[in-house]
Amino acid sequence: MNKYNVKFFAPPQYILNLFATNKLCARRIKCEERAVQCELNFDDYLCMQKICEKAQLSYETITIKGAQHALKIAVKKIGAIVGILAVAIGFMIYNSGVFSVEISGNSAISREEIITEITKECGNIYGAFSTIDINSVEQAVLNIDGVSYVSADIVGTRLKINMVEEATKVEIYDTQNYTNIVSLYDGIITTLTVISGTGMVGVGSVVAEGDVLIAAYTLDAEGNEIPTSAEGTATGRVAFEKQITYTDECLVEVRTGESTTVTSINIFGLQSPTTSPYLTYETEINTTLCTAFLSYEISSITYYETAMIVSENNFINNQEVIIEQERAAFFDTLPDDLLYITDWYFVKRLDKMTLLSIYYEVETTMT
Amino acid sequence: MSFFNETLLKLGCSAEDSIGGDKVTLIGGEGCQIEGQKGVAHISLEKIAIKTSKHIICIEGEGLQIVSINGDEALIVGKIASITRTKKCTNI
């Protein structure tokens, strides 16, 4: 039986009367001026606890002695050790398994197709104590048509597959049926080099998109058309045009300044759900992958409230800057093999809007 | 029947002294045991007064201490000079 050495902070007479009226057995009593220290058994200790709570008496348990207490402590210690071991084993089991697959670099080949192929080659991927072989995984992915490179790795409980697909197949030119070389743009021919076939235009000719530049035949001495492949190059002056309209007023989605950040944990492939408190919002997600001991992802999701407001278009005020930006952006979209000749633009005021037309005249390959 | 109750019967005492009465056992002047106690009326190093159902037992001496108490008994140690038993209505 446990013995509790307790000190009660109250006048001795009061405490001793509490023992007497509640029929509690107190031993080794030491009375002080305003405190009593004594020894109680477990039942009496519990009873006194209740009495002290009721009477709002302060007390202090100084020592606990007894075989029962010693056994309790031992059980607690053993329980703690067993608990720690169980948790450690649990972590080991968890970390030894694969619970999610991350595939990057695939566009034409679907994730399902890749996983099916891996499962065929290596068996079940997911589960604790997964003995999945990385080389087999790589080989399985490489066996899929259209994969040129693959690297696989297990990070924590995640199987990461990084792959590169083969480049898209180049167009095969038909060498059996002869075709004409036609103009890609409207423009004026500046050079024409015919290697094979018959040139249909000359330098200075104005051509439209689709006009034949080099025909796929040659003429014999009698003027008969003899089919042949059309080969050669043609360059010309081409004007590229781009038109942009700016309305005087437009709806713009802006952040109201209100934001809420929530944290989501992804563990065992399960992500704790989060919802935005706003009707319209923008989302910003910062994800941290923790694999030091227990593999899990912590995502900090920030929801920014947004609202649609009518904004005045500031085209007129910033006309020069906007035009310069648009010209530069338009120039970047033009063919690479060009020779810049000139450019110009028009700004035309329409009803509640402004029309910006940008022109680039360049010399480029027409075929 | 206990030895104590037998003694009471031989002395011709009333039954209430046996059932619910009090009993003081002096232990060589260095302590005493009081049975049938109902609470502590006074406590100091020189004087301890213990309530029983109808009486108050007053112990005087030096270095008096209650070392053990339960619902029925109280054990007092110290140099006991006198023990008096008075009716409850008497002031102490």
Kindly calculate the radius of gyration of chain A based on its CA atoms and give it in whole angstroms. 42
Tens of pLDDT along A174-230?
A: 667 788 889 988 999 999 999 888 888 888 889 999 999 898 888 888 888 888 888
Task: Find the residue in B nearest to A19 (Cα).
Answer: B70
Q: Is A219 helix (H, G, I), strand (E, B) or coil?
A: strand
Helix axes A111-122, A134-142, angle to 10 degrees: 130
Taking only the tens place, the pLDDT of each residue in A109-126 is: 888 888 888 888 877 777
Tokens of A279: 């009707």
Kindly give, in sequence order, each residue whose CB lies less than 8 Å from that of residue A125, ignoring residues fewer than 6 positions away: A98, A101, A115, A118, A119, A132, A159
Mean pLDDT of chain B: 83
Closest chain A residue by Cα to residue B39:
A17
Name the closest residue on chain A to residue B75, using Cα atoms: A27
Collect all residues from B whose CB is shorter than 8 A from any CB in A: 37-43, 65-72, 74
Residues of A in contact with B69 (CB under 8 A): 16, 19-20, 25-26, 29
DSSP state of A65: E
Q: How far is CA A24 from CA A38, A43, B49, B74, in A?
A: 12, 9, 19, 11
**Res A293: pLDDT:** 61
Question: From the CB of residue A283, how many other CB atoms can be counted at a distance below 10 Å?
Answer: 10
**Which of A12, A21, A22 is closest, CB to CB, to B43?**
A12
Predicted confidence at residue B60, as pLDDT, reads 93
How near does any CA of chain B get to the CA of A45, in Å? Answer: 13
Read off φ and ψ for residue A276, nearest 5 degrees.
-85, 140
Phi/psi at A150 (5° precision): -150, 140
pLDDT attached to residue B92: 46
Burial label, A128 (beta-carbon count in 10 A; 0-12, 13-18, 19+) = middle
pLDDT above 70 covers a percentage of chain A that reads 94
Are the C-beta atoms of residues B24 and B55 closer than 8 Å to each other?
A: no
For residue B14, what pLDDT is reported?
65
Contact B71 A27 (CB under 8 A): no
Least-confidence region, from A15-19, A119-123, A340-344:
A119-123
A295: its two tokens: 């593999």
Between A141 and B1, residue with greater pLDDT? A141
Helix segments in chain A, DSSP class H: 12-21, 42-55, 67-95, 111-122, 134-142, 319-333
Q: Which residues of B touch A28 (CB under 8 A)?
A: 67-68
Q: What is the pLDDT of residues A52-102, one digit of tens each?
A: 998 888 999 888 887 777 787 888 888 889 999 998 887 777 767 777 788
- Indicate the Cα dihedral angle A124, A125, A130, A133, nearest 10°: 100
The burial class, CB within 10 Å (0-12 / 13-18 / 19+), for A331 is middle
**Do residues A34 and A10 lie in contact, with contact meaning Cβ atoms separated by under 8 Å?**
yes
pLDDT score at A155: 78
Mean pLDDT, residues A156-177 taken together: 77
pLDDT of A1 strictly over 80: no
Using an 8 Å CB-CB cutoff, list chain B residues near A24. Answer: 70-71
* pLDDT tens, residue by residue, A289-324: 776 666 677 889 999 999 988 888 777 778 888 888
Confidence at residue A353, expressed as pLDDT on a 0 to 100 scale: 84
Residue B10, phi then psi, degrees to nearest 5: -65, -35
Give yes or no for A43 touching B (CB within 8 A): no
Joined together, the tokens standing for residue A23 give 């029929």
Q: Which of B41, B43, B71 sits opposite A31 (nearest CB)?
A: B43
pLDDT of residue B33: 92
More confident residue, A48 or B2: A48
- pLDDT for res A292: 63
The answer to whether the pTM exceeds 0.90 is: no
Give me the long-range contacts of A186-191 (CB less than 8 A, separation at least 24).
A186/A238, A186/A239, A187/A236, A187/A237, A187/A238, A187/A239, A187/A366, A188/A236, A188/A237, A189/A213, A189/A234, A189/A235, A189/A236, A189/A366, A190/A235, A190/A236, A190/A237, A190/A363, A191/A233, A191/A234, A191/A235
Which of B42, B67, B69 is nearest residue A20 as measured by Cβ atoms?
Answer: B69
pLDDT at A139 > cutoff 80: yes
Query: A17: which chain B residues are within 8 Å (Cβ-Cβ)?
Result: 39-40
pLDDT at B18: 58
Q: Are A125 and A98 in contact (CB under 8 A)?
A: yes
Q: Which residue has the higher pLDDT, A352 or B4?
A: A352
Cβ atoms A199, A190 nearer than 8 A: no
Specify which residues A262 forms β-bridges with. Answer: A301
Do A214 and A322 contact (CB within 8 A), yes or no?
Answer: no
Share of chain A above pLDDT 90, in %: 15
Q: Do A17 and B67 touch (CB under 8 A)?
A: no
In this predicted structure, what is the pLDDT of residue B49? Answer: 93
pLDDT value at residue A145? 85
Alpha carbon A180 to its chain centroid, in Å, reads 48
* Cβ-based contacts of A48 with chain B (< 8 Å): none
How high is the pLDDT of residue A336? 82
> What confidence score (pLDDT) does residue B15 get?
60
Mean pLDDT of A276-297: 81
Contact between A26 and B70 using a beta-carbon 8 Å cutoff:
yes
Q: Which is more confident, A271 or A27?
A: A27
A19/B69 Cβ within 8 A: yes
The residue ranking higher by pLDDT, A319 or A285, is: A285
CB contact under 8 A, B69 and A31: no
CB contact under 8 A, B71 and A23: yes
Confidence category of residue B74, pLDDT binned at 50, 70, 90: very high
Q: How confident is the model at residue B68 (pLDDT cuts 50, 70, 90)?
A: very high
List of residues 6+ apart from A68 with CB closer than 8 A: A1, A2, A42
In our burial notation (b when 16+ CB lie closer than 10 A, e otherwise), range A136-152 reads: ebbbbbeebeebeebeb
